[in-house]
Structure 1
Amino acid sequence: MTTSRTEHAGAAGGTGDPGRELKALMDILAASPGGEITAAAAALGKLPDATPVRGPETGLVMLRGRIGGDGAPFNLGEAAVTRATVRLSGGAVGHAYALGQDREKARLSAVLAALWSEGNRREEILRDVLEPLAEARAAETSRTRREAAATRVDFFTMVRGDD
């Protein structure tokens, strides 16, 4: 999953569109390592108790691909995905999916989604969770691009004159 920093920065700035902001939060949570999510969530203080509704449970999804982006679709392979659904004591429900087998990442992401749904801690979540994680993903992307650019080779062809 690839998203740009500007998409998340707009959401972190408080666009007033809770659906768009929730999508930005879930995108960042999906792209972030579990340890970083745990550290960012710690800034929120004690999180409310969450009752598991489903999972966390791990399963497989089929990845589909296309040759050249426009060819016939084919089954590329399978990937492990972990999902979780939780309910907070106030009744808010949160859902999350995470690539891989990190059950705690999926559970914590679902808790944050449920907190978001309650609505009274959105600014805290944007400031303490979304912004730091978005900055870390932007720095990671920038580093990867610099590393790739350092290995780029420019090829050119010399044309000989007419004989």
Structure 2
Amino acid sequence: MGILARTEHDVLTQHLQQVESLPSFTVLRRPETGLSMVRGRVGADGEAFNFIEATLTRASVTDQNGYTGHSYILGRNEEHAVVAARLDAALQNPTLREGLMTAVIEPLQALETARHAAIEARAAETEVRFFTMATGRL
């Protein structure tokens, strides 16, 4: 679900075109947009504090096979929330899971991994390494 929530809607839709079809569905909870408080923490053991409010959209669907899917995504894209919920329901179906993992989830994971590697490479270029030279004296 994390991959589906973090992937941009256009990229997700593009990968879904490679899938024959998803089961028909009924909306259980229409897409709703609201706010969620994001909490932060200073350091590994600092006290938690309210950092910022983030816009979230959620949706819930049930497909024709009886599987229920839910999604929460950052932002206001209601269509993205419904597509992610449909995929969540379809991924619970053992007959569809392997094909969806191969056609949608694994390629999206590879794109995310490549994007993170590029960001880390750019950050590494700006890294400053400090060193001290030992003079032999104490």
State TM-score, norm by structure 1: 0.77
Q: Tell me what 2:14 maps to.
A: 39
Over the matched positions of the two proteins, sequence identity in percent amounts to 41
CA separation in 2, counterparts of 1:161 and 1:120?
A: 69
What's the CA shift string for 1:16-57, capped at 9, x where partnerless? xxxxxxxxxx12112211111111111112323221111211
| 1:149 counterpart (108, 120, 124) | 124
Alignment of 1:93-112 (within 5 A): 93-112=68-87
Contact 2:23 2:65 in 1 (8 A): no
| Residue 44 (structure 2) pairs with residue 69 (structure 1) | yes
Instruction: Tell me the number of residue pairs that the alignment of Structure 1 and Structure 2 aligns.
Output: 137
Contact 2:19 2:100 in 1 (8 A): yes
Q: Which has the higher helix share?
A: 1
CA separation in 1, counterparts of 2:21 and 2:47?
A: 50
CA separation in 2, counterparts of 1:65 and 1:87?
A: 34
Give the secondary-structure state (helix, strand or coil) at the position aligned to 2:76: coil
Structure 1: which amino acid aligns with 2:119? T
Q: Tell me what 2:2 maps to.
A: 27
Give the secondary-structure state (helix, strand or coil) at the position aligned to 2:14: helix
CA positional deviation for 1:106: 1.1
C-alpha RMSD of matched pairs (Å): 1.7
Alignment of 1:85-96 (within 5 A): 85-96=60-71
Structure 2: which amino acid aligns with 1:129? V
Q: Which has the higher strand share?
A: 2
